[in-house]
Amino acid sequence: MNPDFMHEAIRLSREKSLAGEGGPFGALIVRGGKIIARGWNQVLKKKDPTCHAEMVAIRRACSKLKDYNLSGCEIYVNCEPCPMCLAALYWAGIEKIYFAADRKDAGDLGFVDDFLYKELLLPPGLRKMPMEQAMREEALVVFSQWARFDNKVIY
């Protein structure tokens, strides 16, 4: 853990949230001891609920490296990632997450991170947001076609 990187993630969270761009969250993606990308919460600025610090940093890192795979990278965030961001970090291939505050600290401010972690453990029928499966067979036809492609990429 490099404290300079964590200090920078915390600095970004302070600076950008005080500027009104979004919640107090900052992130750095690092590879080989060098910062590849910075991100901060821009939910309010962009009017986009997916513009969390980690998501912004992932998008910037992928753009810079011209790859969807961020293996070999670590992320420094001032708060434990929410479930959306954690899933995206797994999808991106991030190798290690360093975080400062945790989801309960974010919950104390009114953010729903801890609620979402608990909600995702429930079977779909017990979640607050109703879910209904429909037209599975039609969707599976497309899956079957894609499975036969010679040049498919599994990620």
Catalytic residues: 54
CB 24 within 8 A of CB 52: no
91, two tokens: 């999808």
Contacts of 49 (CB under 8 A, 6+ apart): 43
State the first-to-last Cα distance of the chain, in angstroms, to the nearest integer: 28
Of 102, 104, 98, nearest in space to 6 by CA: 98
Say what the alpha-carbon torsion angle 6, 10, 11, 17 is, to the nearest 10 degrees: 150
